[in-house]
Structure 1
Amino acid sequence: MLNTILSILLFAALALGILGALRRVRLWRNGRASPVDLLGGLLAMPRRYMVDLHHVVARDRYIANTHVATAGGAVLSIVLAILVHGFGLHDRILGYALLLATVVMFVGAVFVFKRRLNPPSRLSKGPWMRLPKSLLAFSASFFLLTLPVAGILPADFGGWVLAVILAVGVLWGVSELFLGMTWGGPMKHAFAGALHLAWHRRPERFGGGRSTGLKPLDLADPSAPLGVEKPKDFTWNQLLGFDACVQCGKCEAACPAFAAGQPLNPKKLIQDMVVGLAGGTDASFAGSPYPGKPVGEHGGNPHQPIVNGLVDAETLWSCTTCRACVEECPMMIEHVDAIVDMRRHLTLEKGATPNKGAEVLDNLIATDNPGGFNPGGRMNWAADLNLNLMSEKKTADVLFWVGDGAFDMRNQRTLRAFVKVLKAAKLDFAVLGLEERDSGDVARRLGDEATFQTLARRNIQTLGKYSFSRIVTCDPHSFHVLKNEYGAFNGHYHVQHHSTFMAELVTAGKLNLGQHKGGSVTYHDPCYLGRYNGEYQAPRDVLKALGIEVREMQRSGFRSRCCGGGGGAPITDIPGKQRIPDMRMDDIRETQAELVAVGCPQCTAMLEGVVEPRPLIKDIAELVADALVEEVVVVKPAPVKRIPAEVH
């Protein structure tokens, strides 16, 4: 009788699980079309799960090992339970295999339970507190039920009392795993997450790849939405990705805006998109709210506008696009893509860019630079440097992309220092001069895709007139856009950040460097150089060549805290409880370093905006230029020609 009940329970749960899966697929299909390799993605999914996803999860060894035991044991237990107790294959070997799988799952669930006894604030509570108990119930019940199958106990072991208890345990555990996986319980992330890995909107991220450039809008297609207004305007695999969220809160812990008390929590944002996917309110959200915004006041559905329904506009404008959330997400969800997509609608359709946003975008259209400066003054900083222009040379080995720091007096010091380095290395380089325009980075991050594409195409047209082997720039934002986003418009170039280029010059012995004579130094990793482009080592190699031992901040490398200057954040200027650059300066002060080495004009501006006393801020190019040893040319005196004395 018990075997019959077990079989009915398993297959009923499986059937309901399939119906739930079809329901979720139907919800995802509300989104726009997005081409994917359906079969290839499914075949690649196991490796993506075991390698790429666990590469991120393994940063926390406790949860990584726990997840391997719990998830691996659960998958194996479910398969074997269906074979043994569903189809009645009471084979002793299968029985022992199921016992082993349930033990592994039980041990993993114990560690999940232990973690949930006093969970960190970033973890969502609510139904997630139930999950370890459900996993324990499933594994313990099937372990006991399988003992007779393995021949360890007699078939009539325990009688009806134990059978009823086990049936309740099985019902509890099976319901959590099968129904919770597809009808919206905590296990939903397992089902959606597997398919998200298979049909990810950025498959280039897998196998050690990197994909950080924003996807372009097709502005020539009148039927294509200009950004995302409603949940259904996302692509179907973006909606799938939102459903994969495990609510671990690692994005929340990494977010600089959340830490500063601005109204953004990336985990809550993703969960709000899940609410919009199915319809409802955020009243049941069991995690940290947006700072200053209580839970329960927002709601929506797939066909209702997101802003002022599911989220407030200031939540979207709080983002610095630093990608700390994306870097930390174990499910590899693309938070920044979603935020920029929603910003695009606000900017292009509504003209609702806050604070100085509209002014900056107007300046870019009128003057090709965000500050609205006279374009004719772009080269004033180099009036005495006698720089070669590409319009005159036509060809050069290095094209130095100056960027809009040319209009900023502080950044002009960095540009002049780097020119000094280029000249010291006796390089063949030139600049575009007045032909150079803004790269379009800030326009794109503010959601003005039209202005970005206009600037990009004009720059690509200009670059196409000349011959060069590489582009080098001191600005990680220009570097990223030129390297990763111009390619969509047939602008393919070899682009380097000046720190990478200087590291090559040092290795090649082309710079005669002395030793740094200042005090202790710490290095601040720019988001658009590090997390966006994976360059962490070259700046440190350059500093090492100067004899500098870097005092690393606690948050450095891929976990570096944003300076607060990216994504147009200083322009939209959403208030919080504190400023992001002030928090970063606190990180710096903990090292007790006397100087901060930076590699980004925006980082320089944000950190120098912190009130003194604080350490001195210097770009790496300035440090290298200061350490250059002037070559001393020894001029040998001409031999004195002796005139013989006149003979009288």
Structure 2
Amino acid sequence: MMLNTVLPILLFAALALAVIGAMKRFAMWRRGRAAQVDWIGGLLAMPRRYMVDLHHVVARDKYIANTHVATAGGFVLAAVLAILVHGLGLHNRILGFTLLVATGLMFVGALFVAKRRLNPPARLSKGPWMRLPKSLLAFSASLFIATLPVAGILPAGFGGWLLAAILLLGIAWGVSELFFGMTWGGPMKHAFAGALHLAWHRRAERFGGGRSTGLKALDLDDPQTPLGVEKPKDFTWNQLLGFDACVQCGKCEAACPAFAAGQPLNPKKLIQDMVVGLAGGTDAKFAGSPYPGKKIGEHSGAPHLPIVSLDGKALVDAETLWSCTTCRACVEECPMMIEHVDAIVDMRRHLTLEKGATPNKGAEVLENLIATDNPGGFAPGGRLNWAADLDLPLMRDKQEADVLFWVGDGAFDMRNQRTLRALVKVLKAANVDFAVLGLEERDSGDVARRLGDEATFQQLAKRNISTLAQYRFNTIVSADPHSFHVLKNEYGAFGGDYSVLHHSTYIDQLISSGKLNLSQHQGASVTYHDPCYLGRYNGEYEAPRSVLKAIGIEVKEMQRSGFRSRCCGGGGGAPITDIPGKQRIPDMRMVDIKETGAEIVAVGCPQCTAMLEGVVEPRPQIKDIAELVAEALVETTATRPAQREAVEAV
């Protein structure tokens, strides 16, 4: 009798408090800037996004995936049925049995959660998260026993008032964590915020098998648009919602190359610092790994206070933001699909555009881009010096070509010039109708944008788009994944919509169509390093391997390859800002390479080539895919003597 009287009051009181908490939490998120979302469509799409898109990521870890299905699925079903059966008094045997199954399923899942927490990996946050298994077990076990009379398994009122009191205590414990905690704070906060984060995600294009990796453009013509993010409230409200959805699993931490190198960045803590800034307070209660070299408890913030202070302690130190290589390993691994890189670049934009505080060689590089259209400050007139003997066709002469070969700023680097010459050799061997922009080509703007200089990026992008508009071509091909990504995914916001291919993809198409006569690679063993901006940013993993296979190379895969490839350390302007750590990222990657025993590393990016060749010898030889294909070309009668002299220099 006591159970039947008190339990409905307990359940509905918890629900009422949860609703009040939800309203308060939503008000916190809405401190951020406005964002366009599909309110109703997002909510309707949320179940599928949770069951399909989210679980594609979660399912990579079978243990936790199965645990989550049992625990979360059991809880949702148990919560609904508990309200019907015990809250509304629908004492139906079928509902009772179903509730027993749901709580039993939840209990089994909670046991696996408890096992995981017995000796948790270092990446998992502890603190309040350590009590979660106990709360799950208390709720599911107590509710299971309380439901036995409803299912007709035990008589009503069995055990007397003492057992009823114990069951009420267990249910109250679980309800306070699972209902109340979802909206007022605590480990279960991720369930409520996470569901709405999926519904109103910053990048809805990521769902349904889509890909969205291009940075969002700033409207520089609107004086009301802040130049980046200075304070937590400068983020859009759905970005703040996304931060609140973090489950603190630490998969981003485990994947982050900067964290592994001992640089002062931990993407998990960065997101939690944004949550601190959203609510106000200090990071003293953070129960995970600190930023390497930084103590926990010395930083604080509030919605209306600067995130980064250049003259004292704030929420985050500037060097934390500049440690990021923008490799997106954190985003790729995140089971809540949080966008860490967007947040970092947004904060960099403020430091660069408003404060002029780009560290080390950052300011020099940005000045070079403005003055000479290339980050190295080289005379623009030397952009085609590497091809003086190749008689490259120019777009201004041809006006039209099937392929526009985007050379990129590797044109000023002697090592990368070998790659460019090799690619020209391949294109000519396949009789491709191609041309280059020559001196009309400008930097793609990738480095400027990652360093936060949105103004310089947009200036470069618009000039390139204006130049490209003068000519007719079907496809842009580039040997630089960074230029490839920007041209393909970020120029569209300014009217530059093109078909863009990485050179590995285009060479794969040439091979598949029988346009290249290739011999088989002999001798040295080969491994392949996936560039971040080709793989994680654009999903191209197969074409480079297909090309290598076509010339007889069986790739000796590294343990961290494909979507889990370790960054070379060259992206996001990291070599320019040069934040020190305990070791260098390319050195760590070379350890991965050496473990395969390969004698050659095949690469597809000038940044990767430069970073890996910067590792102290002895080490494997670094060769671009274009170089390996050029070496495998079989000379035919179609190869003219004049062409032969030009390509032998490769």
Settle same-fold status: TM greater than 0.5. Answer: yes
The answer on whether the counterparts of 2:74 and 2:106 sit within 8 Å (CA) in structure 1 is: yes
Q: 2-side partners of 1:432 and 1:260: how far apart? A: 39
The answer to whether the Cα contact below 8 Å between 2:477 and 2:501 also exists between their aligned partners in 1 is: yes
Letter in 1 for 2:79: I
Structure 1 match to 2:182? 181
Could you tell me how far apart the structure 2 residues matched to 1:399 and 1:89 are?
70
> Which residue of structure 1 lines up, in the alignment, with residue 368 of structure 2?
363
Q: Which residue of 2 aligns with 1:241?
A: 242
Aligned residue in 2 for 1:458: 463
Deviates more, 1:83-92 or 1:194-203: 83-92
CA distance in 1 between partners of 2:129 and 2:489 (Å): 39
Using the alignment, how far apart are the partners of 1:27 and 1:463 within structure 2? 45
Cα distance in 2 between the residues matched to 1:235 and 1:564:
29
Alignment correspondent of 1:438? 443
Correspondence for 2:108: 107
Matched residue type, 2:169: V
Q: What is the Cα deviation at residue 113 of structure 1? A: 0.4
CA positional deviation for 1:4: 1.3
Residues 634, 269 of structure 1: alpha-carbon distance in 2 compared, 3 angstrom cutoff: closer
The SS at the match of 2:490 is helix
Residues 429 and 639, structure 2, Cα contact 8 Å, conserved in 1: no
**Inter-partner Cα distance in structure 1 for 2:123 and 2:163:** 39
Find the aligned partners of 1:427 and 1:64 in 2 and give their Cα distance. Answer: 48
- State the match for 2:198 in structure 1: 197
The corresponding residue for 1:374 is: 379
Distance 2:473 2:369 in 1: 27
Q: Deviations over 1:296-319 (max 9, x none)?
A: 001101000001311000000000
Unmatched segments (≥5 aa) in structure 1 = 636-648
- Which one of the candidate residues 580, 586, 589 is aligned to 1:584? 589
Q: What is the 5 A alignment of 1:129-528? A: 129-308=130-309, 309-528=314-533
- 1:555 and 2:560 correspond: yes
Q: Is the 8 Å Cα contact of residues 37 and 200 (structure 2) preserved in structure 1?
A: yes
CA distance in 1 between partners of 2:523 and 2:469 (Å): 43
Amino acid in the other structure paired with 2:284: A
**How far apart are the structure 2 equivalents of 1:51 and 1:634?**
52
Amino acid at match of 2:64: I
What's the counterpart of residue 618 of structure 1?
A: 623
Task: Give the partner amino acid of 1:342.
Answer: M
Alignment of 1:120-131 (within 5 A): 120-131=121-132
Decide whether the 8 Å contact of 1:325 with 1:335 is kept in 2.
yes
| Cα displacement (A) at 1:632 | 4.1
Matched pairs, number = 635
SS at match of 2:405: strand
- Structure-1 residue corresponding to 2:648: none
The Cα offsets for residues 604-627 of structure 1, whole Å up to 9 and x where unpaired, read as 000000000000000000000001
Bigger mean CA offset, 89-98 vs 312-321: 89-98
Correspondence 1:6 to 2:44: no
Aligned counterparts of 2:475 and 2:287: Cα–Cα separation in 1: 50
Distance 1:629 1:95 in 2: 75
> Structure 1: how far apart are the matches of 2:5 and 2:15?
15
Distance 1:518 1:379 in 2: 34
- 1:530 aligned residue (532, 535, 538): 535
- Whole-angstrom CA distance in 2 between matches of 1:414 and 1:619: 6
Q: Deviations over 1:138-159 (max 9, x none)?
A: 0000000000011110001111
Counting only pairs closer than 5 Å after superposition, residues 33-52 of structure 1 correspond to structure 2 as 33-52=34-53
Shift of 1:518: 3.5
**TM superposition shift of 1:517:** 2.2
- Give per-residue Cα distances to partners, 1:309-350, cap 9 Å, x unaligned: 110000000000000000000000000000000000000000
Aligned to 1:566: 571
Deviations 1:201-252 (A, max 9, x none): 1000000000000000000001110000000000000000000000000000
The aligned counterpart of 2:645 is none
Question: How big is each residue's C-alpha offset from its partner over 1:90-112, in whole Å with a ceiling of 9 and x where there is no partner?
Answer: 11111111001000000000000
Q: CA deviation at 1:179?
A: 1.2
TM-score, normalised with respect to structure 1: 0.97
Following superposition, the deviation at residue 85 of structure 1 comes to 0.7
* Distance across 2 between alignment mates of 1:294 and 1:634: 64
C-alpha separation between the residues in 1 aligned to 2:253 and 2:522?
40
Q: How big is the shift at 1:601? A: 0.1
Match of 2:606 in 1: 601
CA-CA distance at 1:265 after TM superposition: 0.1
Q: What's the secondary structure of 2:243's corresponding residue?
A: helix
Change (3 A) 1:67 1:434: same
Q: 1:612 to 1:634 in 2, by over 3 A?
A: closer
Contact 1:320–1:565 (CA under 8 A) maintained in structure 2: yes
Looking at structure 2, the residues matched to 180 and 284 of structure 1 have their Cα atoms a distance apart, in angstroms, of 17
Closer/same/farther in 2, CA of residues 633 and 398 from structure 1, 3 Å limit? closer
CA shift for structure 1 position 633: 7.1
User: Corresponding residue for 2:634?
Assistant: 629
Q: Give per-residue Cα distances to partners, 1:503-527, cap 9 Å, x unaligned.
A: 0000000000001123000000000
Distance apart, 1:2 and its partner CA: 1.7
- Compute the displacement of 1:124 (Å): 0.3
The whole-number CA distance in structure 2 between the counterparts of 1:80 and 1:524 is 51
Q: Cα offset for 1:164?
A: 1.2
* Change in 2 beyond 3 A, CA 1:151/1:300: same
SS of structure 2 residue aligned to 1:596? strand
Deviation digits for residues 517-563 of structure 1 (CA, Å, limit 9, x no counterpart):
23000000000000000000000000000100000000000000000
Distance between the aligned counterparts of 2:146 and 2:638, measured in 1?
A: 90
Identity %: 84
Larger Rg: 1
Counterpart of 1:226, as a letter, is L
Q: TM-score, normalised by structure 2?
A: 0.97
Counterpart position of 1:546: 551
Give the Å deviation of 1:579.
0.1
**Equivalent position amino acid for 1:366 in 2:** A
Residue 67 of structure 1 is matched in structure 2 by 68
Who is 2:79 aligned against? 78
Provide the C-alpha distance between the structure 1 equivalents of 2:188 and 2:596, rounded to a whole number of angstroms.
42
1:130 is paired with a residue of what secondary structure?
helix
Tell me the residue number matched to 2:33: 32
Matches of 2:315 and 2:98, distance apart in 1: 47
CA distance in 1, matches of 2:569, 2:390: 33
Distance 1:247 1:125 in 2: 9
Report the Cα distance in structure 1 between the residues aligned to 2:432 and 2:87, rounded to whole angstroms: 74
Shift of residue 634 of structure 1?
12
The amino acid across from 2:519 in the alignment is G
* Amino acid aligned to 2:248: Q
Equivalent-residue separation in structure 2 for 1:529 and 1:385 (angstroms)? 28
Shift of 1:575: 0.1
Provide the C-alpha distance between the structure 1 equivalents of 2:289 and 2:184, rounded to a whole number of angstroms.
23
Contact 1:179 1:185 in 2 (8 A): no
**SS class of match (2:475):** strand
